[in-house]
């Protein structure tokens, strides 16, 4: 395990009235040092309630604590019709300036219907720039998720499951089978043999190591991957190679 490069796809930092005092960038970096995680992709823990604009700004400020450039951010998006976020060219320029490499959305909390009608402009811009979009807010809302993925089949889409400890194979496998740009993070997937079967069925390049920090410790997902029964080559891909490659291809 010591010679593996780990890139965590699912971490949160920050505090809020509903989440309490949460970890800051330093706390996450300390956790990464303890378990041997090299880099992490980070969201604001209170983005659903804090709102897209404020949480994006706060996250960017928090990432400045990371002088070693090991943390990369995920910003929330909104429909373009209310003109709350800058136009795509300016928005993505700001992403590059603040080491933001991916997007996410919280349709229920931010009060919009997630579809092409509302998000077509920003999603098409993300597709053009190869920016991945994380779909954690859809976890458990399978009909909405299916509809959203069908609306944007060419986009790079990532689901890191956080609400079910054993995985949702019957819900997730149809998307893996149908959409080549759909990726699955292994947050909370506590079935090592299941990880092996997923990777053998759909290819190890479709899966990402993701801890769900701070809900789960980073070492837990590392252990599941280590004992999955996969080849060393496939473990290397899932541990960090896949996400590193995905983010290197982003064109901001």
Q: What is the pLDDT of residues 172-222, one digit of tens each?
A: 999 999 999 999 999 988 888 889 999 999 999 999 999 999 999 999 999
Determine the pLDDT at residue 18.
65
* pLDDT at residue 235 is higher than 70: yes
Phi-psi region of 209 (alpha: psi -120 to 50; beta: other; left: phi over 0): beta
Rounded Cα distance, 70 and 116, in Å? 33
Q: Looking at residue 113, what DSSP letter applies? A: -
Give the model's confidence band at 22: pLDDT under 50 very low, under 70 low, under 90 confident, else very high: confident
Residue 2 located in a structural domain: no
pLDDT in the model for residue 118: 97
Query: What distance in Å separates the CA atoms of residue 136 and residue 140, rounded to the nearest whole number?
Result: 9
- Joined together, the tokens standing for residue 39 give 């880099």
Q: Which residue has the higher pLDDT, 208 or 141?
A: 208
Give the SS3 label for residue 42.
strand
Residue 17 CA: distances (Å) to CA of 2, 20, 32, 50, 241:
38, 6, 26, 9, 36
What number is the average pLDDT over the span 112-140? 95
| Cα separation, 214 vs 32, whole angstroms | 11
| pTM of full prediction above 0.75 | yes
Q: Tell me the pLDDT of the chain averaged across its residues.
A: 93
User: If DSSP states are collapsed to H, E and C, what string results for 168-193?
Assistant: CHHHHHHHHHHCCCEEEECCCCCCHH
Using 50, 70 and 90 to split pLDDT, how confident is the model at 16?
Answer: confident
pLDDT, average across residues 98-116: 96
- For residue 166, name the pLDDT band (cuts at 50, 70, 90): low
Residue 140 confidence (pLDDT): 77
Tell me, yes or no, whether 11 lies in a domain. yes
Share of the chain above pLDDT 70, in %: 95
Q: Which residue has the tokens 């299916």?
A: 146
Res 2: pLDDT: 54
Per-residue pLDDT, averaged over 60-82, amounts to 96
Q: Which domain holds residue 69?
A: 7-248
Q: Whole-angstrom Cα distance, residue 55 to residue 103?
A: 13
Would you say 192 and 228 are in contact if contact means Cβ atoms under 8 Å apart?
A: yes
**Where is 110: in which H helix or E strand?**
none
Average pLDDT estimate for 147-159: 98
What is the CATH number for 21? 3.20.20.140
139 domain-assigned = yes
1 found inside a domain: no
**What is the tally of structural domains in the chain?**
1
Instruction: State the maximum Cα–Cα separation within the chain, in Å, rounded to a whole number.
Output: 49
Distance of alpha carbon 176 from alpha carbon 126, whole angstroms: 20
Closest CA to 175 of 138, 126, 212, 211: 138
- How do 133-134 and 207-208 pair as beta strands? unpaired
């Amino acid at each position: 395990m010591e010679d593996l490069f780990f890139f965590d796809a699912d971490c949160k930092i920050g505090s809020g009235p509903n989440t309490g005092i949460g970890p800051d960038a330093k706390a996450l970096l300390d956790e990464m040092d303890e378990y041997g995680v090299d880099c992490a992709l980070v969201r604001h823990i209170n983005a659903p309630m804090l709102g897209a604009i404020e949480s994006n700004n706060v996250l960017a400020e928090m990432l400045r604590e990371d002088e070693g450039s090991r943390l990369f951010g995920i910003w929330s998006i909104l429909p373009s019709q209310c003109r709350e976020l800058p136009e795509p060219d300016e928005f993505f320029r700001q992403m590059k300036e603040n080491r933001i490499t991916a997007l996410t959305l919280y349709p229920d909390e931010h009060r919009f219907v997630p579809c092409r009608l509302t998000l077509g402009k920003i999603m098409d811009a993300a597709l053009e720039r190869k920016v991945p979009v994380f779909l954690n807010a859809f976890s458990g809302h399978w009909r909405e998720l299916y509809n959203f993925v069908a609306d944007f089949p060419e986009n790079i889409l990532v689901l890191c499951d956080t609400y079910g400890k054993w995985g949702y194979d019957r819900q997730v496998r149809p998307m893996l089978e149908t959409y080549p740009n759909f990726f699955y993070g292994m947050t909370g997937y506590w079935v090592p043999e299941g990880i092996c079967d997923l990777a053998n069925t759909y290819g190890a390049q479709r899966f990402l190591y993701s801890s769900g920090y701070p809900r789960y410790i980073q070492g837990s997902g590392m252990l599941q991957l280590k004992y999955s029964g996969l080849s060393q080559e496939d473990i290397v891909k899932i541990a960090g190679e896949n996400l590193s490659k995905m983010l290197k291809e982003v064109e901001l």
